[in-house]
Structure 1
C-alpha cells in the first residue's frame, strides 16, 4: 500500500442508538475494521447493498466523518481535526460527486457561480482568472461555454452531473470520490457520465473511489473492486478476478442478482 494518496488503517465507525431498554443503547458498527488505499490513476469500486457501510466509509474518505478508531493518512501523513492546515490541504485534495446533482447544486446559483465558488472560498486567483478556469472546466467535462449563464434547472440531469464533476475538479484534487453518481440519471446517459469519469481519471492521473450498490456499474469503471457487507470488506481484487472467480458467498449473491445494464 505504499505511495497511496489516501490510506485508511483499521477504520472503525460506531454509532450508539437507543435500543429497547432505556439505559442500554445499542452499538451499530457502520464500518468495522477496514483497510483501504487509493493510488494515482486507479479507480477503486466499493459495492454493497444499502446499509453495508459504503457511504459511511466515503464520509471518512472525504473528511466528513471522524472514525471512532483507526488512522486516515494523506500522502503518508495522519489527518486529524486538530491539525487545521493538514485538514485544509486534505479538503482541497479530495473532490466529491454526489448521487443527485439536482440537490447537490444550489438552484439559485448560475453554473458559472457554482464553478467559481470553490476557488473564491479558497482564495485562489482573481475574479477574471476564476471565470477563465470555470470555462476550462466546462470544456473538460464536455459542456459548451454558453452553459455558464444557465441555472441548474435549465439543463438536463446528465448535464447537471457534468457540472457537479466540473465543480469537483475545480481545486485540482488528487482524488475524486463519486457516491452513486449515476443512480439518479436515465439509463441512456449513465454510460456517458461513467465514460467521462474514466477518461478524466486517465487524463488527470486521478485516484478515484466509485461507490455503488450496482456491481455491474462498478465493474464498468473500476480497476479494483471492494465488496462490503455489514461494515467490512469481504472481498477485494481486480475487476476480472472478482467477477470470474469470486471467493465470498455474498459476492456471488450480488453477482446473481445484478441485471446486466452496463456491459462492455
Structure 2
C-alpha cells in the first residue's frame, strides 16, 4: 500500500519528514441537545511541515487545538479531512501495522514523565521495550542500545537499574526522552515537556532537547502554552487559536515583529523566559 505506509531507513529525504496539508479534526459533542450532536472543530484547516534539523514551535492557550494537532502528528488521531504525510507517504488508515511504521518515523515526549513511564519497570526494561516490540536487532544489540540511550540523555549507567519512582522529575523526563529516541525516529514531538518540572531543571531539559536535535539531526516539534519557552528552542513558530493557525513563520520574525494581535497578547502575558 504505497499511499499508506511511511518508509524508514534508506536515503535521507530532502522534503518534509511529517506534513499536514489542510487538515481538519472534527469531534461530535452531545452538548446542548440530547438528540442533536454538536460538531466541535478542534483543528481547522491546518497546514504545517516538519523538516530535518529544525524545531517547529507550536504555541497557544488551552483549547487552541495544539494537543489535538500533536496527536495527528504522531498518528494517534486520524484527520477528519485533509492530507497527512509521513516521509512523503500519504497515510489514510491507521492499522496496527501502519502505527508501528509511523513509530519508526516520529516519536513523542509527553508532558508528565510520571504517567508516561510504567512505575513497575526498571529504566533498562522501559528503554528496551520498544526495541523488543519492533524486533530491532539481537538481544545483545538491544542491550547495547539501551546503554547508549542513557549516555545520550546524560544519565549515569546506574540509572538503568532504578524504578521511575526512585528518580527525580528531571531524571524521569530524561528517561522518557531516551525512550522516545529508542527506535531512532526522524522526528520528536515534545508536548509541554517541561511544564511538570521544577523551574530549576526546565532549562536543562530544553538544552538537552536542543543538543539532541543538533547531534542527531532530528526534526522536532515543541508544543507549549508559553510562548517565551517556545522562543528558547524554535526555528519556526506556529501560533494557534480556536483550532486555527493565526500566525506562522520564522521564530525570530513572529516573536520580534508579530503581525497578529493574539500573538502580541501571548508575548505580553508571558514575560519570563522559563
TM range, smaller chain: over 0.9
| Residues 171-219 of structure 1: CA deviation (Å, up to 9, x unaligned) | 0000000000000000000000000000000111100000000000000
Matching of residue 244 in structure 1 with residue 246 in structure 2: no
> Structure 2 length as normaliser, TM-score?
0.93
Distance, in Å, in 1 between the alignment partners of 2:160 and 2:98 is: 33
Q: How does 1:1-264 map to 2 (within 5 A)?
A: 3-81=15-93, 86-262=98-274
| Residues 34-92 of structure 1: CA deviation (Å, up to 9, x unaligned) | 00100000100000000000000000000000110011011211012267655432221
Over 3 Å counting, the alpha-carbon distance change for 1:82 and 1:172 in structure 2 is closer
Over 3 Å counting, the alpha-carbon distance change for 1:129 and 1:61 in structure 2 is same
Distance, in Å, in 1 between the alignment partners of 2:95 and 2:197 is: 38
Over 3 Å counting, the alpha-carbon distance change for 1:251 and 1:124 in structure 2 is same
| Structure 2 alignment gaps of length 5 or more | 1-13
Q: Indicate the SS of the match to 1:92.
A: coil
Give the CA deviation at 1:21: 2.2
Distance, in Å, in 1 between the alignment partners of 2:97 and 2:231 is: 36
* Higher deviation after alignment, 157-166 or 232-241: 232-241
Distance, in Å, in 2 between the alignment partners of 1:250 and 1:4 is: 28
Over 3 Å counting, the alpha-carbon distance change for 1:118 and 1:50 in structure 2 is same
How many residue pairs are counted as aligned between the two chains? 261
> Structure 1 length as normaliser, TM-score?
0.96
Distance, in Å, in 1 between the alignment partners of 2:52 and 2:24 is: 25
**Is the contact made by 1:81 and 1:87 (CA closer than 8 Å) also made in structure 2?**
no
Distance, in Å, in 2 between the alignment partners of 1:225 and 1:14 is: 24
| Structure 1 alignment gaps of length 5 or more | none
**Is the contact made by 1:79 and 1:87 (CA closer than 8 Å) also made in structure 2?**
no
Q: Indicate the SS of the match to 1:114.
A: helix
Distance, in Å, in 2 between the alignment partners of 1:15 and 1:37 is: 24
| Residues 147-194 of structure 1: CA deviation (Å, up to 9, x unaligned) | 100000111100000000000000000000000000000000000000
**Is the contact made by 1:80 and 1:87 (CA closer than 8 Å) also made in structure 2?**
no
Alpha-carbon RMSD: 1.2
Distance, in Å, in 2 between the alignment partners of 1:192 and 1:83 is: 37
